[in-house]
Amino acid sequence: MALIVQKYGGSSVADAEKIRNVARRIVRTKEAGNQVVVVVSAMGDTTDDLIKLAQQVTSQPTQRELDVLLSTGEIVSSALLVMALQSMGHQAISLNGAQAGIQTDSAYNRARILKVEARRLLAELEKGNIVIVAGFQGITKDMDITTLGRGGSDTTAVALAASTKAARCERYTDTEGIFTADPRVVPEAQRLDEISYDEMLELATYGSKVIHPRAVELGELYDVPILVASSFTDNPGTLIHREVAMEVRNKVRSIAHDLDVAKITIVGVPDRPGIAASIFVALAEAGISVDTIVQNASTKDITDLTFTVARSQLKSAMAVAEPIAKSIGARECVGDDKLGKVSVVGTGMQNAPGFAARMFKTLSDKGINIELITTSEIRITCIVAENKVKDAVRALHSAFELDKKQPSK
Ligand code: ASP
Ligand code: MG
């Protein structure tokens, strides 16, 4: 008998009928002879709605009470799912984050899981129950409710799979798996049978919304295979795991894009020690997460410093950077929020020459200007104008021959 952890996203439990649909799928897994733990997200846009509601009451809700409020979304869906299972004649029980033993630090709204004390959960499984856990939440050692940050239910699911030594974690959503590009942008995109943790982490960090990067990281750390599939079909999905077929070496695995990019350039920065530190320390203290950073080689001891942030953070980042730019004697500080990112990802690119050249040539043939370039061992990212991102994805998809059925094992 295998223990399987399943996770259903908000769109999969968006209404009563969808909850019953999910219940039927859970029953199938149980009747195939498995023990089942299920993590649920809040129904549909519940979390957004709760945030709006809080903001109607006060423009500055305290973080503690916001977490109490937001945690209720997942509790609602867990109880409803148990009711659906019980009405189908199955034994099930709902547990909130605290009852499921999810212990976190006390960073409200973005808590980290410190430990999972799974005794209660395992005892419920032993009694023959299907256990439904409210995702995205935990409890501090002082018994305060925390949430894990937006999209945190994925992390709950992988953490539970790791701590119960489950055979695997199955993550169901409204997409059929991981594709060679977003199928809404590239209709010819192919579903991948499998992908490595490292590749998935790059894709998730650089724009793929299919699974939260933290969950992938945790999966890799504890070696939990994660299946990503649709809750609306029976198609096989994509397995995220360590060992990926050899035949796909020397290939790009997938293309990610992100339309939420803004750039700040500090022009004419004096090139002396401590300048970068003064800017980025201040940004970090203001809670602004900086992504790509590029500093030009200096000429005559003057350089330009460019970095990117999420578009929603441009204003606050400018407010921090501008006075510092002035105080260090830089010429000016320029912001641009009409940018996007396109990234090609594949472990097969490691130590293989020519991928960057092909990417840049493809973009130049399309007349797309590259603003910034960043790379890791298995990723090349170009920052381009927002209105060119989709063209870039399509052109790269065919240049790297991703429209053909991908080889698997
Ligand atoms: N309901 C939370 C959110 O919308 C957590 C999740 O769905 O994973 O961010
Ligand atoms: Mg959600």
Structure tokens at 147: 């949430």
**According to CATH, what is the number of the domain 255-399?**
3.30.2130.10
Q: Where in the chain is the domain with CATH 3.40.1160.10?
A: 3-244
Element (H, E) at 260: strand 254-270
Min mean pLDDT across 170-179, 206-215, 267-276, 367-376 is at 267-276
Pairing between β-strand 238-241 and β-strand 194-196 as defined by DSSP bridges: parallel
- Reduced to 3 states, what is the DSSP secondary structure of residue 31? helix
**According to CATH, what is the number of the domain 3-244?**
3.40.1160.10
pLDDT of residue 409: 44
Q: Which of 8, 18, 123 is nearest to 74 (CA)?
A: 8
CA of 403 to the centre of ligand 2 (A): 31
Phi, psi for 358 (deg, rounded to 5) = -65, -40
pLDDT of residue 98: 98
Q: Per-residue confidence at 245, pLDDT binned at 50, 70, 90?
A: low
How far apart (Å, rounded) are the C-alpha atoms in residues 164 and 265? 48
Is 237 close to ligand 1, i.e. is its CB under 6 Å away?
no
Q: Considering every ligand atom, which ligand is closest to the CA of 42?
A: 1
Mutational pocket test of ligand 1: of 150, 171, 173, the residue with most ligand atoms within 8 Å of the beta carbon: 150
Residue type, 182: D
Q: Per-residue confidence at 407, pLDDT binned at 50, 70, 90?
A: low
Asked if residue 348 lies in contact with residue 251, where contact means CB atoms within 8 angstroms, the answer is: yes
Structure tokens at 371: 């603003």
Give the dihedral sign, CA 113/115/120/122.
positive
Min mean pLDDT across 53-62, 164-173, 342-351 is at 342-351
CA of 204 to the centre of ligand 1 (A): 16
- What atom in ligand 1 is closest to the CA of residue 154? 8
Asked if residue 286 lies in contact with residue 322, where contact means CB atoms within 8 angstroms, the answer is: no
- What atom in ligand 1 is closest to the CA of residue 48? 4
Considering the entire predicted model, what is its pTM?
0.90
pLDDT digits (tens, 9 = 90+) for 119-175: 999 999 999 999 999 999 999 999 999 999 999 999 999 999 999 999 999 999 989
Q: In what order do the strands lie in the sheet with 145-147?
A: 113-116, 102-104, 137-139, 145-147
